[in-house]
């Protein structure tokens, strides 16, 4: 009886060997700077009460209105697979009272997120993000630090062909004043129905339209940056100063649009040059009213989310990942069954010392075993047969050039630690 094959659900990103090693490395590298800066792990559920996102992210956003995986659980509750990270973090911070201690609360997360979009290169229905949130302090220095940590993550991977765009969405007062003038401006444009509908939901969206005629039409539109209140403006100026001081290059993009409703004040986006249409590799910003909306106290916060899948694509596009960083150090080939037990113990011992050690299993001929060693990418090979067990001396072979050195088995660990 033959069964039908079951395929992965549409549009999910998954990573199996050999790519998974690079994926893991990118994910850990991206978040490493946050750990160095004192951010602590927060591990959250991948599904939440639907209201968390509809209220937190915003009913009017595309993410909430048409991209969420929402279903009813057995108890009749409306559940949604998390489409982004910030709302969940805020929910947990409020629920656990983390905001009752010292501020800011500094946390990092890593995991899967879900959006029911049409898949495309770099756009998946299940994708991976790492991110941080700094909650409870309204200080331009934190804004700068958060941006710097994100930037550093990309630098750890070795990315170069990306740019940082920043802007400020100001406070509620700034946006209200701008909105009036922007709507008046849009009123006069000749728009198709779909575009007009989009403008009605969020007029800022029109700044992001890629069509040349729309870009031209929006050229003279009033910019939010020109409407910033004195306080917002001085905050933004200070953030830029700090970034300058840190040597982080950025360009101010007053037309930048973010898709989540909660953003306020400092907002930023990392864009990679070598990716296709899905070129945003990370982004974030400040969110002043979010915690209050979710039933907590009125604290401000700032954070970012970085796309692990896209960062990996970017790293591949730039060719900055070398495969040999993921291979083993040593490959041991036992000849004969008696030698297998010797090799098992030896390998366990070497691994205990941190040496990445593989064993040739099965009963393949020496040639085949060596071929397997070659394929594995291991840097060194040792063959252990009866002679070696008796003499206690093995030949340590460096695979890159075939050179062989005689080493006592008892000193193998020391010898390897000296060369790897």
Partner RNA sequence: GUGGGCGUAGCUCAGCUGGUAGAGCACUCGGUUGUGGUCCGAGAUGUCGCGGGUUCGAGCCCCGUCGCUCACCCCA
Stretch that binds RNA, among 89-97, 139-147, 236-244, 268-276 (CB under 7 A): 268-276
List 48, 84, 171, 288, residue binding RNA (CB under 7 A) = 84
When asked if residue 82 is in the footprint of RNA (CB under 7 A), the reply is: no
Is 26 a binding residue for RNA by CB under 7 A? The answer is no
- Is 123 an interacting residue with respect to RNA (CB under 7 A)? yes
DSSP string, 80-106: EE-S-SHHHHHHHHHHTTGGGSSSSEE
* Residue of 118, 193, 324, 418 interacting with RNA (CB under 7 A): 118
CA atoms within 13 A on the CB side of 161: 14
Strands (E), 50-187: 69-72, 78-81, 105-114, 126-135, 162-168
- When asked if residue 18 is in the footprint of RNA (CB under 7 A), the reply is no
Binding of residue 280 to RNA (CB under 7 A): yes
Closer residue to RNA, CB minimum distance, 143 or 209: 209
Residue among 103 and 119 whose Cβ is closer to RNA: 119
Reported in sequence order, the residue ranges of 274-388 that DSSP labels E, i.e. its strands, are 280-287, 301-307, 330-334, 357-359, 380-384
* Max Cα distance, the chain (Å): 92
Determine, following the binding rule CB under 7 A, whether residue 120 of this chain makes contact with RNA: yes
Nearest to RNA of 38, 253 (CB atom): 253
The residue from 70, 112, 229, 278 that contacts RNA (CB under 7 A) is 278
Instruction: Answer whether 101's CB lies under 8 Å from 320's CB.
Output: no
27 binds RNA (CB under 7 A): no
Q: Enumerate residues 6+ apart whose C-beta is below 8 A from 324.
A: 377, 379
Among 23, 39, 108, 124, binds RNA (CB under 7 A): 124
For residue 248, how many other CB atoms are within 10 A of its CB?
Answer: 18
Instruction: List phi, psi (to 5°) of 126.
Output: -120, 125
Which candidate, 96, 93, 95, places its Cα nearest to that of 132? 93
| CB of 74 or CB of 210, closer to RNA | 210
CA 255, CA 235: separation in Å to the nearest integer?
19
CB of 254 to RNA, least distance (A): 16
Shortest Cβ 101–RNA spacing (Å): 28
* Spatial separation of the C-alpha atoms in residues 156 and 370, rounded to whole Å: 35
- Tell me how far apart the alpha carbons of residues 115 and 305 are, in angstroms, rounded to a whole number: 15
- Tokens representing 56 are 């937190």
Nearer to RNA, 13 or 300 (CB): 13
Query: Rule CB under 7 A: is residue 405 a binding residue for RNA?
Result: no
Which of the residues 134 through 193 are near RNA (CB under 7 A)?
none
Kindly indicate which of the ranges 45-53, 229-237, 253-261, 352-360 contains the residues binding RNA, using the contact rule CB under 7 A: 253-261
309 binding RNA? (CB under 7 A)? yes
Residue 216 within binding range of RNA, rule CB under 7 A: no
């Amino acid at each position: 009886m033959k069964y039908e094959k079951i395929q992965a659900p549409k549009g999910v990103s998954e990573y199996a060997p050999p790519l998974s090693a690079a994926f893991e490395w990118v994910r850990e590298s991206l978040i490493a700077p946050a750990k160095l800066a004192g951010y602590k792990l927060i591990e959250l559920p991948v599904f939440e009460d639907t209201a968390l996102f509809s209220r937190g992210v915003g009913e009017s956003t595309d993410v909430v209105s048409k991209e969420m995986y929402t279903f009813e659980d057995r108890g009749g509750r409306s559940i949604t697979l998390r489409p982004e990270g910030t709302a969940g973090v805020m929910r947990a911070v409020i629920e656990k009272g983390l905001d009752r201690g010292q501020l800011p609360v500094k946390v990092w997360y890593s995991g899967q997120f879900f959006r029911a979009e049409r898949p495309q290169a770099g756009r998946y229905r299940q994708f991976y993000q790492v991110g941080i949130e700094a909650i409870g302090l309204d200080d331009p220095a934190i804004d700068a630090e958060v941006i710097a940590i994100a930037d550093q993550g990309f630098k750890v991977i070795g990315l170069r062909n990306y740019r940082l765009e920043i802007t400020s969405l100001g406070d509620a007062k700034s946006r209200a004043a701008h909105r009036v003038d922007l709507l008046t401006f849009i009123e006069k444009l000749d728009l198709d129905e779909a575009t007009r509908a989009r403008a009605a939901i969020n007029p800022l969206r029109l700044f992001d339209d890629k069509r040349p005629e729309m870009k031209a039409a929006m050229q003279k539109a009033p910019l939010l940056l020109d409407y910033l209140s004195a306080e917002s403006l001085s905050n933004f100026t200070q953030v830029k100063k700090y970034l300058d001081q840190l040597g982080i290059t950025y360009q101010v993009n007053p037309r930048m649009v973010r898709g989540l409703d909660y953003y306020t004040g400092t907002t930023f986006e990392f864009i990679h040059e070598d990716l296709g249409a899905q070129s945003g590799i990370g982004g974030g910003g400040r969110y002043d009213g979010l915690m209050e909306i979710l039933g907590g106290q009125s604290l401000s916060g700032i954070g970012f989310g970085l796309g692990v899948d896209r960062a990996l694509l970017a790293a591949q596009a730039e060719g900055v990942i070398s495969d040999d960083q993921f291979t083993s150090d040593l490959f041991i080939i036992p000849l004969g069954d008696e030698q297998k037990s010797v090799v098992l113990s030896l390998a366990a011992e070497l691994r205990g010392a941190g040496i990445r050690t593989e064993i040739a299993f099965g009963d393949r001929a020496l040639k085949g075993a060596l071929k397997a060693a070659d394929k594995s990418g291991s840097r060194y090979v040792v063959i252990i047969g009866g002679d070696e067990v008796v003499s206690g001396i093995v030949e340590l072979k460096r695979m890159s050039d075939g050179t062989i050195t005689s080493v006592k088995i008892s000193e193998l660990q020391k010898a390897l630690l000296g060369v790897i």
